């Protein structure tokens, strides 16, 4: 099944949970008493933020935008289940590594306090396989709920809350596809330059839309 967050040139978003455990071990090696992993992996000045981003192949887990398009500092660490949820008794309980997700600023701020319940958690968790079954790309490269996803209010609610169907997410996908193709054509100067020009035009359009 295709993952709507990646182009044909992107590394598959698989094995995230295991890679996140490695990030946790990296934190614990230097800070044995650490409980709230968010404190460490959300700090742009530490190696842990880079390692956490690497676990996601430097891509937003929700929309798929990558570091090829937006700077490292604009990636944030989201509490998948909101840290103010009644499911947690303390801030450190919400900051466990399995509850942290790499998100672009747009997705993180849009998601905000969206309620992830025990019932919809597996469907929405971007570290797991179900999210790929619930969202896809249509023929125009927009993110859309899949046929099965349309039947679930939690899926459509999440889709609307994060504005996953927005034009900017479509442009991101197109630009990342072009960047991947450009890398594949690095030995063909004419095509490489033409793609560079097209990529720059779309990047400028994206930047204007994100202001």
* Dihedral pair phi/psi, residue 113, rounded to 5°: -100, 30
Mean pLDDT of 37-51: 96
Q: What is the pLDDT of residues 145-194, one digit of tens each?
A: 999 899 999 999 999 999 999 999 999 999 999 999 998 998 898 989 99
Lookup result for tokens 């690497």: 54
The candidate with the shortest Cα–Cα distance to 70, out of 156, 1, 171, is 171
Q: CA angle, 22 as apex, 34 and 118 as ends, to 5°?
A: 75
CA distance 22 to 42: 16
Return the percentage of the chain with pLDDT > 90, whole number: 86
Q: Model's pTM, two decimal places?
A: 0.94
Instruction: Note the pLDDT tens digit of each residue in 105-154.
Output: 999 999 998 999 999 999 999 999 999 999 999 999 999 999 989 999 99
Mean pLDDT (whole number) for 189-203? 91
For 12, phi then psi, to 5°, come to -60, 140
Q: How many CA atoms lie within 13 A of 64 on its CB side?
A: 33
Task: With a cut of 80, say whether residue 211 has pLDDT above it.
Answer: no
Q: Check residues 28 and 208 and name the one with the higher pLDDT.
A: 28
Query: CA distances (Å), 91 to each of 85, 114, 120, 170, in order?
Result: 10, 17, 22, 35
């Amino acid at each position: 099944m295709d993952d709507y967050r990646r182009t044909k040139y992107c590394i598959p978003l698989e094995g995230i949970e295991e890679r996140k455990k490695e990030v946790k071990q990296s934190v614990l090696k230097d800070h044995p008493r650490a409980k709230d992993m968010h404190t460490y992996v959300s700090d742009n000045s530490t190696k842990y933020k880079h390692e956490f981003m690497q676990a996601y192949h430097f891509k937003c887990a929700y929309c798929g935008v990558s570091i090829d398009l937006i700077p490292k500092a604009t990636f944030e660490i989201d509490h998948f289940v909101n840290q103010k949820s009644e499911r947690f008794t303390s801030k450190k309980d919400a900051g466990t590594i399995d509850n942290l997700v790499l998100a672009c600023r747009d997705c993180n701020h849009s998601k905000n306090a969206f309620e992830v319940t025990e019932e919809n958690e597996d469907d929405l968790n971007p570290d797991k396989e179900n999210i790929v079954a619930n969202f896809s790309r249509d023929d125009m490269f927009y993110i859309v709920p899949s046929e099965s996803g349309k039947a679930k209010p939690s899926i459509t609610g999440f889709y609307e809350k994060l504005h996953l169907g927005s034009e900017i997410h479509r442009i991101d996908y197109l630009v990342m596809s072009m960047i991947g193709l450009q890398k594949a054509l690095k030995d063909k100067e004419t095509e490489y330059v033409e793609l560079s020009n097209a990529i720059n035009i779309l990047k400028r359009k994206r930047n204007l839309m994100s202001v």
